[in-house]
Amino acid sequence: MVTAMKANELRSLTNAELEQKLDELKEELFNLRFQNATVQLDNPARIKEVKKSIARVKTILNERELGINQG
């Protein structure tokens, strides 16, 4: 399970590392949704956390693509 990272921690990663983290988060979200559908999910709030982490990573990648410097 991937732990939630703050935006400042994510900004210190390279683009390749961010892409890898994004893939890991997407895989975890898939697994969580599958567990939720089969009523095996212990912590449904984890889905929300993972979705927000995915959004953070995508935001940072988009900022870099557009040349926006934040934080």
pLDDT band of 24, cuts 50, 70, 90: very high
Q: Which of 10, 4, 12 has its CA nearest to residue 29?
A: 4
Tell me: pLDDT of 1 over 60: no
- Quickly list DSSP for 16-39: HHHHHHHHHHHHHHHHHHHHHHTT
Domains detected in the chain: 14-66 (1.10.287.310)
pLDDT in tens, 25-70: 999 999 999 999 999 999 999 999 999 999 999 999 999 999 987 7
pLDDT for res 5: 78
This prediction has a pTM of 0.88
Integer Cα distance of 35 and 41 in angstroms: 5
Tell the residue number behind the tokens 């979200």, with chain if given: 29
18 pLDDT higher than 90: yes
pLDDT at 71: 59
Spatial separation of the C-alpha atoms in residues 38 and 46, rounded to whole Å? 16
The pair of three-digit structure tokens given for residue 35, joined into one six-digit string? 């567990």
